[in-house]
Amino acid sequence: MASQRLDALNAHMHPNGAEREHKQLDVCIVGGGLSGICLSVQLKKAGLHFLVLERAEDVGGTWHWNRFPGAACDVESYQYLPFLHEMGKCPTKKYVSSDEIRQHCLDIVQHYQLRPHFQLNTNVVAAKFSNENSQWIIQTNTGRKIIARSLVLACGPLSTPKIADIKGLNTFQGQSFHTARWPSDANLDGRIVGVIGTGATAVQVVPEVSKVAGKLFVFQRSACYCIPKNDTATSDEMRKAILNSPEYLQKYRSEGIHSFDTKLFKMFNDKQLNAQFASMVAEEIRNTVKDKETADKLIPTYPVGCKRLCISDDYYATYNRSNVTLVHNENGIREIEEDGVVMADGAKYKLDTLILATGYDAWSGSFRDFSVEGLDGKTLMEHWKHGPRTACGVHVKGFPNMFLMIGPQVPTILVNVTFAIEMQAKHIVKVIQKMKRHKDSRVEPMPGTEEYWVDHCRELYSGSVWSQCISWYNKEGTDGGADTYTGTTKHYEDSLSEMFSHGLHYYS
């Protein structure tokens, strides 16, 4: 009876016929965001048998979860959204909203008929490599066992919300939530609202909240660099080019991405250029924000690029509103009481609603959600006891046939993330195809490749702009640069190619 009820529940959850029993898959993917979706497209084109496990009620990953007012991509949509020409689609504007990106994810799944390959509302409890059978055994919260030759962890760096470790946070009696879990019934009209954080999320949500809140306090520990978005509707010329010329779109994306990250790399790490850029942003802030004291607090005191460079057309101007107050204290918040926030200097701000724009537990946070056990019973977290160790951010020694996507030690600081996803997806498919062709049952990085990549990441990071402040790029200054790849897209692309040709050990 219990089995029949579970079958009925699965049928209800997967009306399009998603597979429920899996004796042997080529690939099991954990995560149904853009990484899982893009890899699924490549796997299907290659004729491989795969399943995607997603804990949410639908696909989209971070774009499924992030529904706060103002949520949008801060990368140009023509470069960010994959498969535009193949699907005959064109973004409505230069920087599209999260709603449009979420719909694009759904459209990809429909266009490539991927829905039967997705199992939703499914949490992975544990994954273990079978040394005897050279396959991965994945246990889910349904109690069912899934068996696959290869395992891909596409959990995403922006999937596990980071909740600030602030004394008394749980004692607040008003409404409180993280931006990544924005309640559908949230009502801020006329309320006294506090926003903790002034990073990439805050520059989007603060202007929108200010329009409805009776009073808005923005709690800032360090300011961000924010440059104009200059958002515009997609022109007829651009629409025709995207829809009619795959060559144009491919060239536009490739040249734009490589040019962008090369220019940024130079600007971020050239002290003179960096100082000039910082001065320009400071001048823009002073020209925009009318109150001199507030303007001075909004000017960052660290080099440009050390923290994520933000874009907005109205963030700084929001501080001219009479209902908005910037609360700046470098020592942050001392504690949260049941009716408000107490700063390090003892000043208290009474609130009705508290919004946490505090980001995510990036890089390795999502990999801690379940146990991953490789050879000799060692878990991934045990292997990473002293920090993540990977080969090109994709392979891990001692974990055969396991691949990571957009985890630690990959180019997410400078590069358009979907471009990195596409590079990794193509690499993973090539490796699996080669393994099948040669009838090998296992693939791992060669000895020494992990050590080389970790050292390489640290070398790039050392002395760079990213080492000159505390940010999520360096895990609040605790990782010494080992979690972060700060090279250019072209260099990473070449490194992946070298890894495929000479850095992998195929065996049975």
DSSP 38-56: HHHHHHHHTT--EEEE-SS
**Token digits of residue 36:** 């899982």
Lowest average pLDDT, out of 369-373, 440-444, 458-462, goes to 458-462
User: Torsion-angle region of residue 300: left (phi > 0), alpha (psi -120 to 50) or beta?
Assistant: beta
- Residue 464 above 90 pLDDT? no
Residues 6+ apart with CB under 8 A from 293: none
Q: What is the mean pLDDT of residues 191-205?
A: 97
| CA–CA dist 346, 325 (Å, integer) | 17
Lowest average pLDDT, out of 76-85, 330-339, 363-372, goes to 363-372
- Residue 7 above 60 pLDDT? no
**Token digits of residue 405:** 């996507």
Task: Please provide the distance, in angstroms rounded to a whole number, between the alpha carbons at the two ends of the chain.
Answer: 41
8 A C-beta contact, residue 380 and residue 374: yes
- Residue 11 above 80 pLDDT? no
Whole-number pLDDT of residue 20? 47
Whole-number pLDDT of residue 361? 80
Closest CA to 73 of 206, 204, 236, 215: 204
Whole-number pLDDT of residue 480? 64
Q: Concatenated DSSP letters for 211-236? A: TT-SEEEEEESS---EE-----BPPH
Lowest average pLDDT, out of 80-94, 217-231, 402-416, 492-506, goes to 402-416
β-bridge mates for residue 128, sequence order: 137, 373
Residue owning tokens 């949509």? 77
Q: What is the mean pLDDT of residues 243-263?
A: 86
Q: Report percent pLDDT > 70 for the chain.
A: 94
- Residue 122 above 80 pLDDT? yes
Sign of CA dihedral 19, 22, 24, 25: positive
Which of 21-30, 151-160, 461-470 ranks highest by mean pLDDT? Answer: 151-160
> pLDDT for 125-173, tens place per residue?
999 999 999 999 999 998 889 999 999 999 988 878 888 889 999 999 9
Whole-number pLDDT of residue 473? 75
Instruction: Give 10-18 contacts, CB < 8 A, sequence gap 24+.
Output: 10/142, 13/119, 13/120, 13/121, 14/116, 14/118, 14/119, 14/120, 16/115, 16/116, 17/116, 18/115, 18/116, 18/117, 18/118, 18/119, 18/120
Whole-number pLDDT of residue 10? 40
- Stated as kind and residue range, the H or E segment containing 507 is strand 504-507
0.95 surpassed by pTM? no
| CA–CA dist 415, 489 (Å, integer) | 6
Helices (H), 289-333: 292-298, 315-318
- Confidence class for position 264, pLDDT limits 50, 70, 90: confident
Whole-number pLDDT of residue 2? 34
Q: What is the mean pLDDT of residues 451-473?
A: 86
Distance of CA 61 to the CA centre of its chain: 9
